[in-house]
Amino acid sequence: MYPDLQVPLPLSHHHYAAMALPPLPQPGLSPAPRAALALPIAEARLRSILMGV
């Protein structure tokens, strides 16, 4: 009744024409370093809360 599609949809011009695609991250290139955030609680616990029910 709701089969998965096997054929990709045509790309919509109004989506991609306006989107400047970011370059693919390369493993040899280090991303710009960002200072680690001080999280209010342990990261694993915070993430479990944010994904929780």
Residues near other proteins (CB under 8 A) are: 1-9, 11-12, 14-16, 19-27, 31-32, 34, 37-40, 42-53
Q: How far is the CB of 15 from other proteins (least distance, A)?
A: 4
For residues 6-38, one letter each, b for 16 or more C-beta atoms within 10 angstroms of the residue's C-beta and e for the rest, the string is eeeeeeeeeeeeeeeeeeeeeeeeeeeeeeeee
Q: How far is the CB of 43 from other proteins (least distance, A)?
A: 4
Q: How far is the CB of 20 from other proteins (least distance, A)?
A: 7
